[in-house]
């Protein structure tokens, strides 16, 4: 009986090995492997003039598991990407299961002057994007990890300007309070009066008696006018 059970277990293991292994390694269902795919690539506005062109690479995670810390490489070239072509490699962040993430990559500034066409300096004409460039993840489709784009085919992301409306309230002149300035009537300190502090006496007015004209007339008529007045 024990030998029969051992034989059954041996046959079961052999059967599983034949089904799961076909001489090329173990077969894993595609749903468990997942896949990273380049969804979109677009040009981004240049923030720093000392840097080269910027690109936004949208990557989709078509798996049931979270993926993070894989490498993304962008290569600029006039035609086919060569080993000495200028490139930039960045580390992508976390992409949730069945989610997407935009990774921003800036190429070196020398990609703006890569050739001479009739005396005119020209920049990169093609962009090659490679996701999982260090081949850190096992995927069900490795062929969609590398794509080449013509610069003319890449859309340019524009930044929308935001207009802020400002309302200014005008206050009527009648409602505006004007400060009242009181005149300073106090004499200035340490300032001498114009007349030097000396008061000039008013001219004396000679008092004319109403009898003087009458006396003068009597004296002219009568030699003894003086006696009459006495």
Domains, the chain: 26-151 (2.60.40.10)
* Confidence (pLDDT) at 226: 47
* Confidence (pLDDT) at 121: 93
Cα dist from 86 to 74, 116, 180, whole Å:
9, 17, 75
* Confidence (pLDDT) at 47: 83
Angle at 101 between CA 95 and CA 102, to 5 degrees: 150
Per DSSP bridges, beta strands 100-106 and 54-61 are antiparallel
Query: For 51-94, what is each residue's pLDDT tens digit?
Result: 899 999 999 999 999 999 999 999 999 999 999 999 999 999 99
Q: Report the chain's mean pLDDT, rounded to a whole number.
A: 76
- State how far the Cα of 84 lies from the Cα of 143, in Å rounded to an integer: 23
Query: For 147-179, what is each residue's pLDDT tens digit?
Result: 999 999 999 988 665 566 656 666 665 555 555
Stated pTM of the model: 0.57
* Confidence (pLDDT) at 62: 92
Reduce the secondary structure of 173-186 to three states and give it as a string.
HHHCCCCCCCCCCC
Confidence of residue 103 (pLDDT cuts 50, 70, 90): very high
């Amino acid at each position: 009986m024990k030998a029969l059970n051992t034989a059954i277990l041996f046959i079961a293991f052999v059967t599983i090995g034949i089904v799961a292994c076909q001489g090329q390694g173990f077969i894993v269902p595609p749903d468990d492997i997942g896949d990273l795919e380049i969804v979109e690539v677009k040009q981004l506005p240049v923030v720093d003039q000392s840097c080269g062109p910027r690109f936004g690479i949208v990557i989709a995670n078509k798996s049931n598991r979270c993926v993070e810390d894989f490498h993304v490489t962008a290569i600029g070239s006039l035609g086919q990407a060569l080993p000495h072509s200028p490139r930039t490699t960045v580390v992508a962040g976390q992409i949730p299961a069945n989610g997407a993430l935009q990774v921003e990559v800036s190429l070196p500034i020398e990609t703006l002057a890569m050739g001479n066409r009739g005396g005119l300096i020209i920049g990169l004409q093609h962009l090659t994007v490679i996701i999982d460039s260090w081949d850190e993840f096992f995927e069900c489709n490795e062929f969609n990890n590398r794509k080449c784009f013509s610069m003319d085919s890449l859309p340019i992301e524009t930044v929308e300007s935001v207009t802020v409306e400002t309302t200014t309230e005008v206050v009527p002149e009648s409602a505006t309070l004007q400060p009242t300035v009181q005149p300073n009537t106090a004499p200035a300190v340490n300032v001498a009066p114009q007349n030097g502090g000396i008061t000039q006496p008013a001219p004396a007015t000679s008092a004319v008696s109403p009898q003087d004209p009458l006396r003068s007339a009597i004296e002219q008529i009568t030699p003894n006018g003086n006696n009459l007045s006495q």
